[in-house]
Amino acid sequence: GCIVCAVPFIRPRDVWQSQAGQSAEDKQQSLQAAIQAYYQGVHDAGLALQAQLQQTLGRRVPLIATGHLTTVGASSNESVREIYVGSLDAFPTAAFPPVDYIALGHIHKPQKVGGLAHIRYCGSPIPLGFDEARQHKEVLLVDLDATGLAGVTPLPVPRFQALVSVSGNLAALPAAIAAAASEGTADKPAWLEVTVAEDDYLQDLPERINTMTQGLPVEVLRVRRQRASATATLFSEALETLDELSPGDVFARRLSQEDLSPDLRQALNQRYTDVVRSITEGAA
């Protein structure tokens, strides 16, 4: 058996309250200290129970801690939502209490954290986005004994649904889609993400892609436009004068890359202003 110091996703408002006049760095350090103190409290309770069980059983019972957060050194992807934006980007591994094993969630890619064998994300058991289509998913069998961690065995999770991401211009896509179709069957078609390059300006892309997939065991879930030139221009402008721009300026430049009606543009600007105001007032 073991003792599990079960720590769920910690909402900042549950453990910490920002103070007026705090800098961004002060807020990050305060939140980190609050989360560390929460872990320490749970760990202290675990140690007390461990001491009781050792007297009863005559042997040491290992300690496991859990967590749902991003840690320093973890590798993420686009399917993972940032959970401490503006306050705490990542929790340092040194701030965890000393336990035999730390089982973490939130990052979808299986990995050790900081090269440490006893701190791991097992990752999501299934792909949660097309950027995870080529990842090998797994669960972890963790063996512990009275001395601590004895071993970790990855157990591969079978792939039950084919996810394929293809890209290219309209001339190259038919061949790419046909190749992706080899991973699907009539009963279980492959799910596709199609990224269109060069011809991304065309308005009828979904219809064209649908024509290419007729009769093939595929299902298109998303069609993306690459928009390489517009994105490159946006990033070039931002990197040149970012320190001179306000968040509102950056948002306005991003909106300028889209073909929007005046009413929709005004509505988006108002919504953005409301969101920024609510965040600013909530952090004060």
Q: Parallel, antiparallel, or unpaired: how do β-strands 138-145 and 148-156 relate?
A: antiparallel
Tokens of 23: 């800098």
Task: Count Cβ atoms within 10 A of the Cβ of residue 143 and give its class: 0-12 exposed, 13-18 middle, 19 or more buried.
Answer: exposed
Looking at the fold, whether 132 and 213 belong to one and the same domain comes out as no
Q: Do 268 and 193 share a structural domain?
A: no
Q: Are residues 134 and 51 in the same domain?
A: yes
Tell me the CATH number at 110. Answer: 3.60.21.10
pTM, to two decimals: 0.71
Query: How many Å apart are CA 175 and CA 272, to the nearest integer?
Result: 41
Cβ–Cβ contacts within 10 Å for residue 263, how many?
A: 8
- pLDDT on residue 154: 96
User: Which of these three, 115, 132, 156, is where a domain ends?
Assistant: 156
Strands 116-121 and 111-113: antiparallel
Q: Which CATH number covers residue 209? A: 3.30.160.720
Strands (DSSP E) found in 115-272: 116-121, 138-145, 148-156, 163-168, 190-196, 218-225
Q: Are residues 18 and 73 in the same domain?
A: yes
Do residues 105 and 120 share a domain?
Answer: yes
Q: Of 128, 156, 184, which one is at a domain's C-terminal end?
A: 156
Same domain, 149 and 104: yes
Largest Cα–Cα distance in the chain?
Answer: 74
Helix (H) or strand (E) holding 23: none
Among residues 133, 156, 179, the one where a domain terminates is 156
Helix (H) or strand (E) holding 35: helix 24-57
> DSSP states of 202-243 as a string?
-TTHHHHHHHHTTTSSEEEEEEEE--HHHHHHHHHHHHHHGG
Per-residue pLDDT at 237:
47
CB 109 within 8 A of CB 121: yes
Supply the range of the domain harboring residue 187. Answer: 163-225
Residues 129 and 23 in one domain: yes
CA-based radius of gyration for the chain: 24
- Looking at the fold, whether 237 and 253 belong to one and the same domain comes out as yes
- Residues facing 218 on adjacent strands: 190
Q: Which residues contact 172 (CB under 8 A, 6 or more apart)?
A: none
Q: What is the pLDDT of residue 236?
A: 45
Does 180 lie in the same domain as 55?
no
- When divided into structural domains, the chain yields a total of 3
Residues 69 and 205 in one domain: no
**How many other CB atoms sit within 10 Å of the CB of residue 130?**
21
Least Cα distance to 210 among 197, 200, 223, 201 occurs for 223
* Co-location of 8 and 125 in the same domain: yes
Q: Are residues 220 and 271 in the same domain?
A: no
CA distance 131 to 193: 10
pLDDT averaged per 10 residues in sequence order, the chain, 284 residues: 93 81 81 93 97 95 94 66 51 93 93 92 91 91 96 94 93 95 95 87 86 95 73 46 64 81 84 78 56
- C-alpha 130/C-alpha 25 separation (Å) is 35
